[in-house]
Amino acid sequence: MKKTIVTACSLFALLVSAPLAATAAEEVDVEEVVNKANLAAYYAGDDGKAEINMTITDSQGRERTREFIILRKDKEDGGQQFFYVYFKKPSDVSKMVFMVHKNVDKDDNRWMYLPALDLVKRIAASDKRTSFVGSNFMYEDVSGRNLSEDTRELVESNDTHYVIKNTPKKPEDVEFSSYTVQIDKKNFLPVKAVYLDKNGKEYRTVEATKVEDIDGIPTVVESKVTDLEAKSSTVSKFSNVEYNIGLKENVFTERYMTNDRKARDLANKTKK
């Protein structure tokens, strides 16, 4: 008897919602698109490694470079992740290690190893919208913004892209009022994000400027952040990208930060 009522209710719901859906060109579940995009951008493979070369250009055209290796391991897709960053250049940051245990439901744990002092420092991780190593990338661009921090709506769905507007639930915590992301319909990679400031003016863009297929996984191999206001930009080039190299969880510990030999073994690690 109960079952019949439930079925009747669902049927009714279907009838009511059907005409609404028909008015849009297609049925799009925004959350599903965003989840897929999050997995494509930040959770490809079970683990991964890339060499990154960043060029930071300021408003006067002066360039600074950063060279580092990133290792990543996912505990579960969409869930906890571990990051390990080994710096190579410039020489004053060489051999420094930055490690993050990224959490979805609480603050991340971050560590920094300073080899000159043999010091493992823990870093407060409350503000994720600060510059990553002095570049135009922010911590959130590197490790992903927590999906629970924004509300979303689909503003456009054309032949190639979904365009989704994200509005922060706590606008006082961030420097933007909203941002829109274009997501490629083929592979769900976010290819461009445009940030609006508190006055609704565009001031920052993050773009995937080159995408390649690596081990069957669509991968951003070049990305660019532009600060329209400061007229500065950063280009990141990813090389020697590898997935599923079999990283163990114990790699993301103090032992691997403080031991340069182990760190370098990791940096040179490739899939067997």
Partner 1 sequence: MRKTAYIAVALIFVLPISLSVVRAEDDNISLSERLHDDYGVEALGFAETRWGTRMVDDENEDTLSLGEARFQVQLDRDFDSFQIQFKGDLLADAVTEELEADIRNLSLSFSPSDMVDIKLGRMVSTWGTGDLVFINDMFPKDWQSFFIGRDDEYLKQASNSIRTGLFLGDYTINLVYTPRFQGSEFVSGERLSYFNPGAGQIVGQNMIMADDAPDAYFEDDETSVRLSKRFGGVETALYGYMGFWQEPEGMDATTGKAIYPRLNVWGASARSPMLGGIGNIEVGYYDSFDDEDGLNPYIRPSEYRFLVGFERELAHELTGGFQYYLEMIDEYENYEQTVAPGMEARDEYRQMLTMRLTKLMMQQTLTLSLFAYYSPTDNDGYVRPKFQYKLSDNLLVDGGFNLFFGENEHTFWGRFQDNTNAFVGVRYSF
Distant-in-sequence, close-in-space partners of 180: CB < 8 Å, separation ≥ 6: 155, 163, 164, 165, 166, 193, 194
Which among 7-15, 20-28, 86-94, 207-215 is the span making contact with partner 1, rule CB under 8 A?
A: 86-94
Residues 139-178 that bind partner 1 (CB under 8 A): 175
Take residue 112 and report the two structure tokens written for it: 């920094």
From 186, 198, 262, 271, residue interacting with partner 1 (rule: CB under 8 A):
262
Select 27 or 92, whichever has its Cβ closest to partner 1.
Answer: 92
The one-letter code for the residue type at 105 is D
Residues 190-209 that bind partner 1 (CB under 8 A): none
Select 214 or 225, whichever has its Cβ closest to partner 1.
Answer: 225
- How far is residue 256's CA from residue 242's CA, in Å, rounded to a whole number? 20
Does residue 259 belong to the site contacting partner 1 (CB under 8 A)? yes
CB of 9: closest distance to partner 1 in angstroms? 44
Select 67 or 222, whichever has its Cβ closest to partner 1.
Answer: 67
The one-letter code for the residue type at 68 is F
Structural element, H or E, at residue 23? helix 2-23
DSSP 8-state assignment for residue 132: S
Q: What are phi and psi of 113, to 5 degrees?
A: -110, 125
- How far is residue 178's CA from residue 165's CA, in Å, rounded to a whole number? 7
Residues 106-145 that bind partner 1 (CB under 8 A): 107, 109, 116-120, 122-127, 129-131, 133-136
- How far is residue 142's CA from residue 21's CA, in Å, rounded to a whole number? 36
- How far is residue 259's CA from residue 266's CA, in Å, rounded to a whole number? 11
Does residue 261 belong to the site contacting partner 1 (CB under 8 A)? yes
DSSP 8-state assignment for residue 107: P
**x-or-dash string of contact with partner 1, 59-78, rule CB under 8 A:** ---x-xx-------------
Take residue 107 and report the two structure tokens written for it: 């603050």
Q: Give the interface with partner 1 as residue ranges (CB under 8 A).
A: 56, 58, 62, 64-65, 89-92, 94, 101, 107, 109, 116-120, 122-127, 129-131, 133-136, 175, 230, 232, 250, 253-255, 259-262, 264
